Amino acid sequence: MVRKREDGRLVPKMMSFDVFGTLISVRDSSYGTFQRILDATGARGVDTKEFWEFWEHRNIEQYWEPYRSYREICRTSLSDAFARYGIRGDPNLIDYYFDAFSSFFLYDDVLPTLERLAGRCKLAVVSNIDDDLLALTPLSRSFDLVCTAERAGGYKPDGTLFQYLIDNAGIPKSDILHSGQSQFTDLVGGKPKGLTIAWINRRDVPLDASVPRPDYVFNDIQSLLGLVET
């Protein structure tokens, strides 16, 4: 657990962040692209958001399997989604999604918050992603440590990616505060590793009974400032 001062505020030496869904508005950034994918198949009457949610669920399931690149996982998940919805489509249409990474956008609170936090501690990103796709993502600032599934050879849920963070942070894990939006990757993978975790519940969804409890819950990352600043 990250050390607390007498006033209850935390004193982390590093703050790490999930990227997609925490810093990047991934759903809003992706829905238009997935509509393009569905349009290319000629599919009619398919709810784009529901289709995307199924696809993302399949991604997370595959994160538990022996490592494959994020691109490969996404392609397999699209094939599975086509089958689930009875669509005849080419899984390589997922390239529309990869091509859209450079147009993804940050939540409004991200850059001002990170700028203030950078004066207090080191910053890291921890993402279930390939290096080249993260490089395309407009994060608009650098980080002291970059942790990707490609570099770790594994993803968050089974702890592989969080172990990479711990091994490369250069400080005890008790000095790291991780923030992420995913119950089923950030909480499931990070809490068993002994990390202090703030769940960034931007969509105000209920916490699933099956996942470990977060140490803190906020609706945005700007709220982290009240946890670590005087």
- Residue boundaries of the structural domains of the chain: 14-25+104-228, 27-102
pLDDT for position 219: 98
Count of other CB atoms within 10 angstroms of residue 211: 16
Handedness of CA 51, 56, 57, 62 (dihedral sign): positive
Contact 149, 67 (CB under 8 A): yes
Select from 1.10.150.240, 3.10.110.10, 3.40.50.2000, 3.90.1010.10 the CATH code of 27-102.
1.10.150.240
Contact 151, 164 (CB under 8 A): yes
Region 210-215: what's the mean pLDDT?
98
**CA 216 to chain CA centroid, nearest Å:** 17
pLDDT (tens digit per residue) in 89-140? 999 999 999 999 999 999 999 999 999 999 899 999 999 999 999 999 999 9
3-state secondary structure of 178: strand
Contact 35, 116 (CB under 8 A): no
Q: Please provide the CATH number assigned to the domain covering 14-25+104-228.
A: 3.40.50.1000
pLDDT band for position 230 (cuts 50, 70, 90) = low
